[in-house]
Structure formats: structure tokens, C-alpha cells
Structure 1
Amino acid sequence: MIKRTIYIGNPSYLKLKQKQLVVQEPESKEIVGTVPIEDIALLLLDHYQITISNQLLIKLQGNNVAVVSCDEHHLPFGMMLPIYGHSEYSERIKHQLSASEPLKKQLWKQTVEQKIANQEALLNLNNKLSEPLAEYKLTVKSGDTTNREGMAAQHYWKHLFDNFSRERFGSAPNNLLNFGYAVLRSIVARALVSSGMLPVLGLFHKNKYNAYCLADDIMEPYRPFVDKLVFNYVNNSYRDNFELTKQTKAHILTIATQDVFIDGVERPLFVAVTTTTASLYKCFTGELRQIKYPELD
């Protein structure tokens, strides 16, 4: 079953009743919607006047639901996940902790290669210059010591959008990309916890202030799928101003159900991420030598 992403953007009281998330209008007490807890993967809270019961939070955590709160810019700011999400949690953490540096460098190499391959595919889909990326992809070294990822990104952003500079706080569509990446990060972090791993222990990212280093690693090959969604949205719209409206957010939130090709089959991105994190754990145990990542086509 495909899990759902639930977005709450109005003043609301959220509570639990009969294993359902109940959304209630605070003043009139009117019930405006209910969703079975077991159907939810991600709950996005985007209003300062949202109240959520602790009983509901506990039930959400018990079902590995990522609860994400947004800031004043309406961008995902904080994330709540269960402490553990797998019955073999301690055993799996041991394997993650014992992973050698050479192994992590090889896994990062695979990650960068697939990210560049997906960037190349997106440029090709839109008849953009992609030739340099093919060379970068073939020359990635263990640990990406020659920074092929950065070189590829420089070319990629120069050619994907017209007159565009990729900056975290830059002009649109940077805001749309930031929102999509934040949602993607939450999906990946949830999958890592569900697979019994700590999102904080990265392969490459090691910022001591970052609690989601591994999520930031594993999401890299998935970023071009967000780029594709945003690119199509921008280029199929007649507007010049792209604000993060509720309509825009609703469109970007469909990233979770976008079909991707992984491990020989087509799956929703949300399911594909779980395939990736499961394969990562098997790489830590020695059962696999290659992480399973999606291919953009």
C-alpha cells in the first residue's frame, strides 16, 4: 500500500480517535477530515496555530510517521521521528557503526555516480547540453576525492534552467527546490529509521551540527526527481512569480508518489526509498556490494 503525505496549512486541532488522525476546526469544533494512521508516511504542519495531542504523536511515532513542522517561510524546519523503527534495531546499528571507511567511500562513490547519471538524464530529457556529465560520471573516484559531484552540479544548474543560479536563499525556483528537497529529506530519514539505521551517521556528510547526515547522503540521487517535478511545473506554467502557495506545495508534495525505475521495476518514489535504505543495510552487512538507487528516464 502506498503511504500518504498529509499537509495541514490552516489553524487546526489534531487528535486521535479510533486509530484515525482527526482534523478539527478549533473554533467551530467541526471535523474537517480523518485519515487512518496506518496510511500516513509524512505529516507536514504548516501553520503556527496547529495543536496536536500527545496521544496522537505517540501513535504516529509508533507507525514510523515523520512529523515535520514548517517555519515562518513555510519551509520544513523540524522533524520528529521514532527513536527506533525496526525490531532488530541494536543489531543493525552495530553493523552500521562497524562499517569501514573504505566501504563508506565506495558507497559514496556509487551515490555520486548515480546522482550524476540522473542529472544527465534530466538534461537529455529536456534537450539540454549534458555531454560533460558523462565524463564526470565515469571518473568518480572512491570518496569522490576529485569532487566530480561539484563539477557536475556547476554544469547542471547552468544548463537546466535559463538564467538561474542555485542558491539556498536565491530567487525562484530556488524556493520550490528547497521545499521539495526538505520533503525528500524527511522521506529518506523516515526510511532509514524504518530500516533500523541512525540518520545521523553519514557516509560523506559529517557536519557535527547535522542530525541527518546519512539522509543527506542517500537523498542525493533522488534530488533530480525533485528537479524534474519543479522544472515541469515552472515550464508548464504561464506565471512569472513562483511563490510557495498551498497549490504549489500540494504539487511538490506529489514527489512521494512519482514513479521511478529501481531494481528493474517501476515503483512510487516513497517505496523506492525504502528499497534503497534496505540495500544500504545489506551493504553494511556484506550481503550486497551495490546500493540500489533509482534511474531517471
Structure 2
Amino acid sequence: MATLYINRSDIQLTLESQTLRIEQNGTLKNRVPLKLIERLVIQHNITLDTGLLLKLAENNATVLILSPRHSRRVALMLGPAHNQAAIRLAQACQVSDAAQCQPMAQQLVISKIKRQQRLLKQALTQRADARKPLLDGINHLQTILDRLAQTTPDHATLRGHEGAAARAYFQAYAALMPPSFGFTGRNRRPPRDPINAGLSLAYTLLHSDAVRAAHMAGLDPMLGFYHRPSFGRESLASDLIEPLRPHVDAWLWEQIRSRHLRIEHFHHDGQACLLGKAGRDTFFAAWEQHAKHHRRWLRIQSAALAKYWRAQGTPLLADPDDEEE
């Protein structure tokens, strides 16, 4: 199964028997068997017929529509819901119990911070010139991990620890980036530099994969155990991607370091930094190779959570590094 990215205008997508037909300005460009498409990602103004959408939904394919300019998610179409409603009922009962959620939430935050620290330690072996900021970040994260190992914080305090860890981590992460990219820390809506533009797009794609994995496992993506249910937010998907964010950060650093993504791939429009078409082509091709591991991990974890919430057993939130192929 594969992801099909549509990253140009004047494209027409139509259904031809069991095949997706791709035309540009009336000229046939390609045909793709529908059975090979697991997800369709659209980031431009195109034309497609509803018969194609119906067939994609029947095949449990995901359709993700991104803003042509800012790479924000506009819409996400999923296939039919899981038939076992008992899973979602059990999930709703569990996530409404703060005492049940706290151990899982704390484990999740610890896992994420350990991944962040691991990335900085690995970077230290390759970037002796950034030794001080990297060591400062590593030590700061260790202090937070030590606190979490000794206490059982409430939800607000846990969020505070995660936020403090993120600030220390991204301050160290910034030392890995070329000064010309202007990255000094995380910002969004809109991202104001190339690194934040790349992170925002990658996190958007990752989050849509988490929504799909939860949906396919019979879970409600809106009901999370760490990110509390909130209007318009798929909180469980946000939970699922937390331990994977440092893997995405490492991947983006590699794209910058290897010059697969370069400063000329980006441009500014007001305060927003945008990834141009050539950059998106490069980004999507590299992302698809990287995404295989995290998609497998998301499927495994979603199935484990569904099983746990029905049986009220051990959550089994595995380390994503243990699932590498």
C-alpha cells in the first residue's frame, strides 16, 4: 500500500474501473490501481469526482487535504468506522477517569522526553562545535526526568514539565541548524522560519496517520488520556504522536544536514514561511520513506489501547524504538 501525493494544480482525478486516473490539463499522466492506495494527500487546487471519493472510502483509504499555501490540514476523510462500538464506549469511560489516565499520561511524557534527550546525545557525537548547548539541553531534560521519577504530578503540573522540557530541547536543537535558517525555537500558526515550516508539515502528516490508526482500531480519535478532550481536537491522535515527535525532529535535521532540503526551497509571505513546490516534492518523497516505521508503531499502539480499554489491563505503550524494522 502507498501514499499518493498531489502537489500541482490543473490536475483531474477520476475513477476508471478499479483505477485512479490522473490527468493534467486533459492529458493522461498516470493510472494507479485503487488497491495500492492507502492514503491520498492533496495540496493544491484540483478536480476530482465523487465516485472516486466513494471508492476510496470503501477501500478504507484516507484522503488528506492540506492548505495549498500554509500546509495546514483542511479536511481528512476516513473510511467506514470500526463496527465494534464497545471499544469506543470503554474508551470513553476510561478517559473520563483522571486516576486511570494519570499513569498513562506520565509514562507518555517520560517517553517523549527520553526520546528528546536521546536525539541530543546522538547529535553530540556528531557536532562537537555545539557541545555546550547540547549538554545544557541534555542536563535540563535529565533534571525533569528525575523529578518525574520521584513524584506523581497532577495533570497541570505534568503539562508544565512537558512544556519546560520542550523549551530546553528546542533551544538545544536550534544549535544544530544553520544560522541562515533563522531557527531559534518552536513557533507556529504561521511558522516563521524554514525549520518550523518543515516541522509543522511533518507533524500534520504524522497526526493524520495517528487519526487513521485510531479510527481503524475502533477508537475515537477525539478522546485522549493526556490531551484532554477539547472542541475540534483529535486528542487521542495528539497523545499517540508525542513519543514520535523526536523521531520527526531527527528526520528533519537529517534532511537539512544532507541538503535534501535547502534554504532556497522556502520563501516568506508576510510573517509566514512557506515550502515551495520543489521543496514539497523533495519533502514528500523523503517523508514517505521515513513514515513506514511510525505508521506500523501507530497501528500496534492503537490496537493495544483498544484491547486495554476493553479489558482494563496494562496499556502496553511500547517504546517506538523497540518496533524498528
TM-score by length of 2: 0.79
SS at match of 1:73: coil
Q: 1:43 aligns with which of 33, 40, 43?
A: 40
What is the correspondence of 1:1-297 to structure 2 with a 5 Å cutoff? 3-10=1-8, 11-25=10-24, 27=25, 29-48=26-45, 50-82=46-78, 84-88=80-84, 90-99=85-94, 100-127=97-124, 128-129=134-135, 130-140=138-148, 141=152, 144-146=155-157, 147-162=160-175, 164-168=184-188, 169-206=191-228, 208-237=230-259, 239-243=262-266, 244-253=275-284, 254-258=286-290, 268-285=293-310, 286-295=312-321
**C-alpha distance in structure 1 between counterparts of 2:319 and 2:16, whole Å:** 38
**C-alpha distance in structure 1 between counterparts of 2:258 and 2:228, whole Å:** 38
**Structure with greater helix share of residues:** 2
Query: Which structure has the bigger radius of gyration?
Result: 2
SS at match of 2:145: helix
Match of 2:271 in 1: none
Unaligned runs of 5+ in 2: 125-133, 176-182, 267-274
Unaligned runs of 5+ in 1: 260-266
1:178-200 CA distances to partner (integer Å, 9 max, x unpaired)? 11011111111111101111111
Give the Å deviation of 1:278.
Answer: 1.1
Residue 58 of structure 2 aligns to which amino acid in structure 1? G
SS at match of 1:268: helix
Aligned residues: 284
**C-alpha distance in structure 2 between counterparts of 1:155 and 1:206, whole Å:** 24
**C-alpha distance in structure 1 between counterparts of 2:155 and 2:289, whole Å:** 31
Is the deviation greater in 233-242 or in 112-121? 233-242
Give the Å deviation of 1:242.
Answer: 4.5
Give the Å deviation of 1:132.
Answer: 2.3
Give the Å deviation of 1:77.
Answer: 2.1
Is the deviation greater in 185-194 or in 208-217? 208-217
**Are the aligned partners of 1:43 and 1:66 in contact in 2 as well (CA < 8 Å)?**
yes
**Are the aligned partners of 2:202 and 2:248 in contact in 1 as well (CA < 8 Å)?**
yes
**Are the aligned partners of 1:192 and 1:215 in contact in 2 as well (CA < 8 Å)?**
yes
SS at match of 1:87: coil
Q: What value does the CA root-mean-square deviation take over the aligned residues?
A: 2.4
SS at match of 1:295: helix
**Are the aligned partners of 1:84 and 1:196 in contact in 2 as well (CA < 8 Å)?**
no
**C-alpha distance in structure 2 between counterparts of 1:54 and 1:252, whole Å:** 29
1:63–1:293 distance in 2 versus 1, CA, 3 Å:
farther
**C-alpha distance in structure 2 between counterparts of 1:138 and 1:290, whole Å:** 22
